[in-house]
Amino acid sequence: MGKIVYKPIGIIHSDYKQKEGVPIQGALSKNSRGKVEVFPEYQPGLKDIEGFSHIILLYHFHLSEAYSLLTKTFLDDEEHGIFACRAPRRPNPIGISVVKLKKIVGNTLYITEADIIDGTPLLDIKPYVSKFDVRTNTKDGWLTERLKDNEKHRSDNRFS
Amino acid sequence: MGKIVYKPIGIIHSDYKQKEGVPIQGALSKNSRGKVEVFPEYQPGLKDIEGFSHIILLYHFHLSEAYSLLTKTFLDDEEHGIFACRAPRRPNPIGISVVKLKKIVGNTLYITEADIIDGTPLLDIKPYVSKFDVRTNTKDGWLTERLKDNEKHRSDNRFS
């Protein structure tokens, strides 16, 4: 199978200027603000997005230079498979975040619950749809215990 | 900003051999079965994934040859912005699906709730984590009314 080539459709702006200190997940950091700048040529694709309270951002982990199939995360000191965690150093370093859409001005989306480093290239935006995306009674594997005191968690420099 | 190059890490197998008849979302088709074949070189990355009841698949809409910023979906006859819907003809044709993980044999994941065409190139697997991914009290925009009789919906040939 050949290579797949994508092109950024925008840039994500946030207060997180470096890897350290980024919330490990936006859902755990309700007040983190950010802006999604969609390049003007894609602005028509935003039609009707204002009706959604939450959106899914897909983006490129541009600071991730290599990958590890086994990795330690910010949540414990065990090694887990990269596909069993959300860490950035993945074979294809695509990140996804569910964020809250506060308002839209032109080609800029104002969001909260953002856990994304400033300057991150945006790949796609999808509406978060409760009937498609909510699963209840899930089993959350090795994360179950680790997330009990999750509000405290911020990234450190271990992926630098 | 430059191009971003990814490489498939596996292939998704399903009973859907063509675009017509695929469930529009796996959550609406609980019994759709599929298999995710992870290429052997990435198999170590699956460590600890068996503890999760649901996983998120990211994949390349390989049959999507062009994009439209405004599009009609299977759910109504209005045009919506591509970023306000989940249709495949996107600037970067990346699909995401939350699926149920039933079992793992070697490098193959057996899944249900699959809404993906047979032969689709796999880009990434992430664990679905309720604390990260569940949002309640969402507003689902133009989809709110359209999803009320959603169990009936299957794709047709409008994107062919």
Q: Where are the alpha helices (DSSP H) in A17-102?
A: none
Q: How many CB atoms lie within 10 A of CB A148?
A: 9
Q: CB pairs below 8 Å between A and B: how many?
A: 258
CB A135 to CB B6 under 8 A? no
Cα–Cα distance for residue pair A120/A98, rounded to 1 Å: 15
Parse chain B into domains and list their residue ranges: 10-129
Residue A154 has pLDDT above 70, yes or no: no
CATH of domain B10-129: 2.40.30.70
pLDDT along chain B (160 residues), means of 10: 93 86 69 93 98 97 93 85 95 96 97 91 96 90 79 54
**Tens digit of each residue's pLDDT (9 = 90 or more) over A131-149:** 889 998 899 999 888 887 6
Interface predicted TM-score (ipTM): 0.89
Interface test with A, best of B38, B65, B68, B83 (most A CBs within 10 A): B83
Nearest residue to B54 (alpha-carbon basis) of B27, B81, B22: B27
Interface test with B, best of A132, A146, A152 (most B CBs within 10 A): A132
Give the model's pLDDT for residue A77.
83
- Which residues numbered 11-40 in B keep a CB inside 8 Å of some CB on A? 11, 25, 27-28, 38
Give the model's pLDDT for residue B31.
76
CATH of domain A10-130: 2.40.30.70
Beta carbons of A80 and A3 less than 8 angstroms apart: no
**Tens digit of each residue's pLDDT (9 = 90 or more) over A46-96:** 999 999 999 999 999 999 889 999 998 777 888 999 999 999 999 999 999
